[in-house]
Amino acid sequence: MDFPSPLSGDLVAALVFPGVLGIFGFLVVAIWLERKLVARVQWRYGPLYVSRPLGGLLQPVADLFKLVFSELVLPRHTNRLLFAATPILLFFAEGLPVVFIAAAPGVVMAPHSYGLAIAVVLVLLVAVLMVAMAWTEADKFTYIGAMREILLTAAYEVPLLLAALAMFLLYGTADPHKVVEVQSGLWGVLLNPLAFVVYLVALLMATTRFPFEIPEAEPEVVLGPYTEYGSTLFIYAFGANYVKLYVLSLLGAVLFLGGWLPAAGVLGVLITLAKMGVFVLPAMLVRAIYPRYRIDQALRIGWGQLLALSAAAVLWSLLAAWIW
C-alpha cells in the first residue's frame, strides 16, 4: 500500500475507485461516451452545446439536473413506498459487488479469499430486485418487461457463472489479488479465450445492451421495467444499468485482463480503469450496429451456443489446469 496515511487502501476503494466517485463519474462519462460514439457512427455530433470546450461532457450532468427537477409521479394504484424504494435499492445493490473487487493491490473494500466469486453471485442476485421493481409498478408493460428480464437472466446466468468458474478453476483461486498475480505471465484472455467471449456476450445480456436490449424494447413495451418512473427515481432505475456495466467491466478487467498489471498503486488504478474500456466500449458501440433480438431468439442463443461455449470453456480450463 503506497498511499499516504490517513488514506488507507480500503478508504480509497470505498470513496474514490472503484467506489462512490468511480460509480458516479462512470455514469456521467459512460452516458456521454455512448452518445458521442454512437453519434459518430450515425453522421451526428452528439452532445455539443453544454460545455462546448469539453465536447459536451457535461450534457449528462445537465440532463441529471433536469430530471431531478422534473415532477415525481407516484401512481396511486401502486404500493407507493415500494415504488419509491425499489429503484434506489436496485441502484445500490447493483454497486454492491464492487466491495469485493480490487482495483489495485490493497485498494479493495473487503478483501476476501472468495471475493470475485461473491461478486459474481451478487451480480446475479440483483436481477431479482429488477423484477421486484417492475412488479411494484403494476403496469402491463412493466409486467412484460419483468417477464423478459427473468427470461433473459435465465439465458445468461449459467454461461456467466460457468465463464467465471472456468477462470477460477484455471487460477485455482477467487481472491482478486491472487487472481491478478497468476496472470502476471499471461492474461486470462489468452489463457482461456472461450471464457472471455462467453463473458463478453453475457455482459451484453446482463446489462441489456443491444442486440439483447429486449426488456426495455421501446416499440413493444415502452421502456419495460422503467416505464412508470420519472424524475430522480428514473435516474436510479436507469442508472442501475450503467452501474451493472461498471461492475461487470471491472470484474472482467480483473478476471481476464490482468487487472492493474504491470503497475501498482495509483498507476495500477488508472490501468484497471483503462482496461475496463475493453468491455465498456463494445457495450456502447453495439447500440449503433445491432437491432434487438426477440426474446425467444435470445433464449435460444443463451441456452444453445453460449451454454455450449461456456461448457467448453470449463473443459478447456480443466485440461489446462491438469496439464499445468
Partner 1 sequence: MQKTEWPFNLEVGRTFFVQSEEELRGGGRGLTLVVGPQHPGSGHMRLFVVVDGDIIVDVVPDPGFVHRGVEKLAENRPYWTLIPLVEKASIMDSMNITYPLILALEKALGLEPPPRAKYLRVLMAELSRVRTHLYDLALLGVFLGHTTAFMWGFALMDMYAEVFAKIAGARTTIAYPVPGGVRRDVKPDHVEAVKRLLEVTRRKLKDFKTLFLDNPVTKARLEGVGIVDAKKTAELGVVGPFARASGIDYDVRKVHPYDAYGDVDFEVVVEKDGDAWARTLVRWREMYESMSIVEQVLKALPEGDVIDQALLFKNPEYRREGVGGVLGVYTYIYPEPGEYLAVAEATRGATLVHLWATGLQRVHRMRFVTPSWRNLRAMVEAMKGGRLADMPAVYMSFGYFPPEADR
Summarize as ranges the residues that interact with partner 1 (CB under 8 A): 38, 41-44, 76-77, 140-141, 143-144, 210-211, 213-214, 217-222, 287-297
How many whole angstroms separate alpha carbon 10 and alpha carbon 110? Answer: 7
Q: How far is the CB of 282 from partner 1 (least distance, A)?
A: 15
How many whole angstroms separate alpha carbon 39 and alpha carbon 48? Answer: 11
Query: Within 10 A of 2 (CB to CB), how many other CB atoms are there?
Result: 11
> Cβ closer to partner 1: 256 or 293?
293
Q: 3-state class of 140 per DSSP?
A: helix
> Cβ closer to partner 1: 309 or 311?
309
Q: How far is the CB of 289 from partner 1 (least distance, A)?
A: 7
Q: How far is the CB of 240 from partner 1 (least distance, A)?
A: 20
How many whole angstroms separate alpha carbon 165 and alpha carbon 190? Answer: 16
Where b means 16+ CB within 10 Å and e means fewer, 122-157 reads bbbebbebbbbbbbbbebebbbbbbbbbbbbbebbb
How many whole angstroms separate alpha carbon 26 and alpha carbon 29? Answer: 5
Q: How far is the CB of 291 from partner 1 (least distance, A)?
A: 4
How many whole angstroms separate alpha carbon 234 and alpha carbon 75? Answer: 14
> Cβ closer to partner 1: 167 or 214?
214
Contacts 24+ apart (CB under 8 A), 188-191: 188/255, 188/256, 188/257, 188/258, 189/256, 189/257, 191/320
Q: How far is the CB of 121 from partner 1 (least distance, A)?
A: 29
Q: How far is the CB of 140 from partner 1 (least distance, A)?
A: 6
> Cβ closer to partner 1: 35 or 177?
35
CB within 8 A of 11, min separation 6: which ones? none
3-state secondary structure labels for all residues of 129-160 = HHHHHHHHHCCHHHHHHHHHHHHHHHHHHHHH
Q: How far is the CB of 220 from partner 1 (least distance, A)?
A: 6
How many whole angstroms separate alpha carbon 34 and alpha carbon 288? Answer: 10
> Cβ closer to partner 1: 206 or 217?
217
Burial bucket for residue 257 (CB in 10 Å: 0-12, 13-18, 19+): buried
Q: How far is the CB of 217 from partner 1 (least distance, A)?
A: 7
> Cβ closer to partner 1: 97 or 145?
145
Please name the amino acid found at residue 101. I
Q: How far is the CB of 237 from partner 1 (least distance, A)?
A: 17
DSSP letter, residue 29: H
> Cβ closer to partner 1: 31 or 58?
31
> Cβ closer to partner 1: 222 or 312?
222
> Cβ closer to partner 1: 2 or 296?
296
How many whole angstroms separate alpha carbon 181 and alpha carbon 190? Answer: 15
Q: 3-state class of 25 per DSSP?
A: helix
